[in-house]
Structure 1
Amino acid sequence: MQSKKFGLLMILVFMAVICLITSLYQSADLSASVSNEYGLFITLLTDSAGHKGFLITLVILGLLFLKLPFTRAQFFSKGLQLGVILLIGFTSKAALKELTESPRPYTEWLAQQALIESAEGFYDLNSVERDGVIIVASESVSSWRTQHWKGEKDYSFPSGHTIFVAICIVFFGGLFAQYRQWLPLSILMLWASGVAYSRLWIGMHRPEDLFASIAFVAAVYLLVPPFNHLGDKLAQQWPNSWPFKLLPDRAK
């Protein structure tokens, strides 16, 4: 528990930021016009935590991770911990969506415009029919929103994007705080907050989706062991060669 205090502190800070965002946020007018600059900015934010860009985000954070003063054993143990948390987060997201069957907010807007009978009814349509409804909606909704609607026609709860950014906050953010890396921590927090806001703006999620996703990640982080013993074993067995020459055992 002591080793996880920084990660838990950062996830609490992130939760507080999301509370502020949602308290100030007014439900987006999904039919409002959107400038190309703002639409592109929101798209880049949301894609950086989605299937199109999350690997790039992980690589960037991983490079910053390598600059922290770990021993080789710590490198392995923390890498294993991150891998398990990501695996649980991604697999649980899909299962929870099918279990809860919560319609996305944009489907409620489609129902209000009488394009479908009900938000739940959207999911009774096949993929081609769903696309057709969204294409009709595109006559009054910016493509900066509808392009995401077409790409994400599944259920709303929980938010997979928010699960990913919460994992980044609890793991990388906790390490940045522990080692007093304030600049990358600040950038990470701003990015994560922007991604969370983008999910509301696009019409993909409600505030409760975001809060539940963050709480879920915090619970997983608490339950996943630190893998210290396994990290020690791997460090002893791995040859002292590249890329681990970049990771000398600085802490004795």
Structure 2
Amino acid sequence: MPSVIFPLMLGWLILLIIPGILFVSDASLFPWLSLDSTTAEALFWITSTGTAPYGVASVLLILLLSYRRLERARFFSLFLAISLSMCTTLGLNHYLKPFFNEARPNAVWLDQHYLLNTDSFYTLSKAERKELMMTAVNQIEFADTELTLAPLVKQHWQHEIGFAFPSGHTLFAITLTMVASYYLLIAGNIWIPSLLFGWSIAMGFSRMLLGMHWTQDVLASTFLGGIIGLVSLLVIHKIFPYIGSMANKLLTLWKPIKPS
């Protein structure tokens, strides 16, 4: 067990260090990248793996890969841990965003270029915000700025009109990575956890580079995602024996009675 926990915690530490350095150095990744480039479109597809409905497909893919590599009981434990962690992540993200009431970097940038008023923007309904964001995005080309958006990035800006903190995409990626990697490492698989940690890093960078989140959003979400993942593992580890026992009893009760 210690041999599994150590690489898991080390990976989480690395994930924390990257946005931590950016936060301490007060570095901002937006609008550093040209948002009409192929790289920006690639980042859009990375960030889409954490956006509904593609986020569901990401979970199903990890479950499929894990199913082929884990024992049935361990896979069931993984399924429960992922279910618990995802529900916790969604609930926390839904509660914290309106609580902190933080404007996204792209909205602040639009405000600075007199294309949007963030003070009134976040008081509007979701439908009104979408309409206003669409108008602001379409006016970028006429503003005194060199920023241009690729069609996919423009579409993403028009879709993401909620508050910034925390980064739901980062929470999703980190939590899923921590939980799945734990079970896969126990099974002796290294390459899938490695890919998952790389995906989590790319997810955080995509959110910052596309103007969706500040560095503190990604840093805090990386920390919270790790905590949620570890607590979910602990909870499922504690209650799984009881769940397994109940399942066996139900199977015994439902087992067809053979005719004498």
Correspondence for 2:163: 155
User: TM (normalized to structure 2)?
Assistant: 0.78
Correspondence for 1:146: 154
| Alignment partners' CA distance in 2, 1:175 and 1:43 | 29
The one of the two structures with greater contact order (alpha-carbon pairs below 8 A, sep at least 6) is: 1
User: What letter is aligned with 1:100?
Assistant: F
User: Conserved in 1, the CA contact under 8 Å of 2:51 and 2:169?
Assistant: yes
Cα distance, 1:201–1:219 mapped onto 2, change above 3 Å: same
Runs (4+) off by over 6 Å: 1-4, 21-25
1:54-133 correspondence to structure 2 within 5 Å: 54-70=55-71, 72-117=72-117, 119-126=118-125, 127-128=127-128, 130-133=130-133
The alignment-based identity, stated in percent, is: 22
RMSD of the TM alignment (CA)?
2.9
- Residue segments in structure 1 that go unaligned for 5+ positions in a row: 241-252
User: TM (normalized to structure 1)?
Assistant: 0.81
Correspondence for 1:5: 5
Cα deviation, 1:25-46, whole Å, max 9, x if unaligned, reads: 65322794512x3343122101
Query: Is 1:183–2:191 an aligned residue pair?
Result: yes
Is the partner of 2:82 in helix, strand or coil?
helix
User: Conserved in 2, the CA contact under 8 Å of 1:10 and 1:173?
Assistant: no
Cα distance, 1:237–1:152 mapped onto 2, change above 3 Å: farther
Correspondence for 2:201: 193
Query: Is 1:232–2:240 an aligned residue pair?
Result: no
| Alignment partners' CA distance in 1, 2:227 and 2:35 | 39
Cα distance, 1:67–1:17 mapped onto 2, change above 3 Å: farther
Larger radius of gyration: 2
Count of matched residue positions in the alignment of Structure 1 and Structure 2: 237
Cα deviation, 1:161-180, whole Å, max 9, x if unaligned, reads: 00110112211122333333
Displacement of 1:99 in angstroms is 1.0
Is the partner of 2:106 in helix, strand or coil?
helix
